Structure 1
Amino acid sequence: MNFLTQIDNIALIALLLVSGAALFLPTLSTLISGKGLTPTEATIWINRRKAYVLDLRSVEAFKLGHLPGAKHIISSELATGIEKMRLDRKNPVILVCDSGNHSRKGVAEVQKLGFSEVASLEGGVQGWQAAALPLVK
């Protein structure tokens, strides 16, 4: 009887470890491959992990609509802009542009500033809108 209880406990622990890994692997693969966060993953980072959202688009595009809580930053002044904002380097950073191509290029630059978790929004604002998520004006 005692042996069966131990097997049940081992099975539950194994199930817990496999479930945890399954939840974490998409985020880990995103960070390693640099592909970018899906709108759903970005929403999780924003709501649960207090990620900073930095919009690299033009001022005009930003004013027409941006992700909730996003801060506008000129992409050519990414490093100095981030330094001026005095962001906590413990929090993740999501870079956003129109399609995701431009923001992906800034990921390495932001990582050099000491941010360990930096990702680009896959599909950019267009992908965000395609997922029927709101923009703020």
Structure 2
Amino acid sequence: MDHKILFFIESQWPLLLGAVALIIMIFKGPLTRRAAGIHEVDPATAVQLINHEDAVIIDVREQKEWSQGHLPGARHIPLGDLPKYMQDLEKHRGHHIICQCASGMRSSRAAASLKKAGFDKIYSLRGGIGAWRSAGLPVEK
């Protein structure tokens, strides 16, 4: 190997290690969701599920985020409160459930929790409410 490359690696190893860790984190999320059986849906598919399958929307964002606008008909259950609402969600066990947050990260965790609890028609809205708004779909306050 070239002496300059070796010198760069030796002198910049913390930076290189951080870059490798970042790459792993970026790719780990989608792989973990797929391994857990969590399906992501885009806004158009979510609309289809809502309109034709009577899907239930669960917004797992915090109150301040919810107050700034949410999907019409969504139910607000912050991610941290989800365990307290599991019993109440039992009545929706046979329905399609779409978890939604700001970007798709928290909703994926909520979907994984519901999947682990035995719900089987669980989805995470890819891109969250940002993708929903970008698609020109309505929000309510």
User: Is it true that 1:117 corresponds to 2:117 in the alignment?
Assistant: no
**TM-score scaled by length of structure 2:** 0.69
Q: How many equivalent pairs are there? A: 108
Instruction: Specify the alignment match of 2:59 in structure 1.
Output: 55
Instruction: Specify the alignment match of 1:101 in structure 2.
Output: 105
**3-state DSSP of counterpart to 1:95:** strand
**Deviation of residue 83 (structure 1)?**
1.8
Identity across the alignment (%): 32
**Deviation of residue 35 (structure 1)?**
5.2
Runs of 4+ aligned structure 1 residues displaced above 3 Å come to 30-35
CA distance in 2, matches of 1:82, 1:129: 28
Task: Flag structure 1 segments of 5+ consecutive residues without an equivalent.
Answer: 1-29
Task: Flag structure 2 segments of 5+ consecutive residues without an equivalent.
Answer: 1-33
RMSD: 2.0
Instruction: Specify the alignment match of 1:76 in structure 2.
Output: 80
Letter in 1 for 2:116: K
**Deviation of residue 34 (structure 1)?**
3.3
Instruction: Specify the alignment match of 2:95 in structure 1.
Output: 91
CA distance in 2, matches of 1:73, 1:33: 22
Higher mean C-alpha deviation, range 119-128 or range 57-66: 57-66
CA distance in 2, matches of 1:114, 1:67: 25
**3-state DSSP of counterpart to 1:68:** coil
